[in-house]
Amino acid sequence: MKFFVDTAEIEPIRDLAATGLLDGVTTNPSLIAKSGRDFMEVTREICGIVDGPVSAEVVALDHATMMKEAEVLRKIADNVCIKVPLTVDGLKTCKALTGEGTMVNVTLCFSANQALLAAKAGASFISPFVGRHDDNGFDGMDLIEDIRLIYDNYGFETEILVASVRHTMHVLQAAKIGADVMTAPPKVIHDLFKHVLTDKGIEGFMADWAKTGQTILK
């Protein structure tokens, strides 16, 4: 499963990129606002840190203006992935852009039927928002299972990008279902490294090693 980080903050992106485990980045208008940075400038900077897809979202609601915005955004770097909302105009834009060879991430997906439409529109990625789904009394992971089944039934190549990830169990469940990608805030990715027995094990080994009085580096 590919790991994307869901943020527009540069330092956490650099930090995770240095682990070698980061495959891409997702941003959205709320994350750009939170960063306090200029959209174009911060997107360019992020594209220089990671080689994989960097999602940059259009903010227009009509197809013609979405296309104009996408034209500006895709010039930022070769790894920009244009993010469009799951609307009629968004999918028209998706179809046109993927037809020209531009990566498209269709966002704000909350049903398997919406995911089916995005795949038919040639989306590179579909972003079902599992956390927001859970928040509203639905099971986000049921949605991922349904999309996986439908995409496998028809051999759609659209990658399932599990979004709105809130905790490590979302990552585990998404991996068990066979989602292609997950995008999570930096904290959730860091939480994946943690286990109390790993910490306890290191503590025990360090204590015993100290008793030997030895060093590896002379």
Q: Answer yes or no whether residue 164 interacts with ligand E4P by CB under 6 A.
A: yes
Q: Answer yes or no whether residue 127 interacts with ligand E4P by CB under 6 A.
A: yes
Q: Is 87 exposed, middle or buried (CB count within 10 Å of its CB: 0-12, 13-18, 19+)? A: middle
- With CB under 6 A as the contact rule, the residue among 5, 6, 73, 106 that binds ligand E4P is 6
Pick the stretch among 45-53, 72-80, 129-137, 146-154 that binds ligand E4P (CB under 6 A): 129-137
DSSP state of 19: T
Q: How many residues lie near ligand E4P (CB under 6 A)?
A: 11
Alpha helices in the chain (DSSP H): 10-17, 29-35, 39-49, 63-74, 88-99, 112-120, 130-135, 140-154, 168-177, 186-191, 196-212
Separation of CA 48 from chain center: 17
**Binding characters for ligand E4P, 57-96, by CB under 6 A (x = yes):** ----------------------------------------
Residue 53 three-state SS: coil
Nearest partner of 55 among 1, 88, 6, judged by Cα:
6
- With CB under 6 A as the contact rule, the residue among 26, 98, 158, 173 that binds ligand E4P is 26
List 83, 92, 95, 211, catalytic entry: 83
Q: Answer yes or no whether residue 114 interacts with ligand E4P by CB under 6 A.
A: no
The reply to whether 83 belongs to the active site is yes
Q: Answer yes or no whether residue 14 interacts with ligand E4P by CB under 6 A.
A: no
Phi, psi (rounded to 5 degrees) for 57: -95, 135
- With CB under 6 A as the contact rule, the residue among 77, 132, 150, 190 that binds ligand E4P is 132
What's the min distance (Å) between Cβ of 30 and ligand E4P? 6
Residue with structure tokens 């606002």?
Answer: 33
- With CB under 6 A as the contact rule, the residue among 29, 52, 131, 186 that binds ligand E4P is 131
Nearest partner of 43 among 70, 9, 12, judged by Cα:
9
Cβ proximity to ligand E4P, 7 vs 98, nearer residue:
7
Tokens of 196: 């109390």
- With CB under 6 A as the contact rule, the residue among 181, 183, 188, 189 that binds ligand E4P is 183
Cross-strand bridge partners of residue 54? 25, 80
Q: Given the rule CB under 6 A, which residues bind ligand E4P? A: 6, 26, 28, 107, 127, 129, 131-132, 163-164, 183
Any idea which residues carry the catalytic annotation? 83
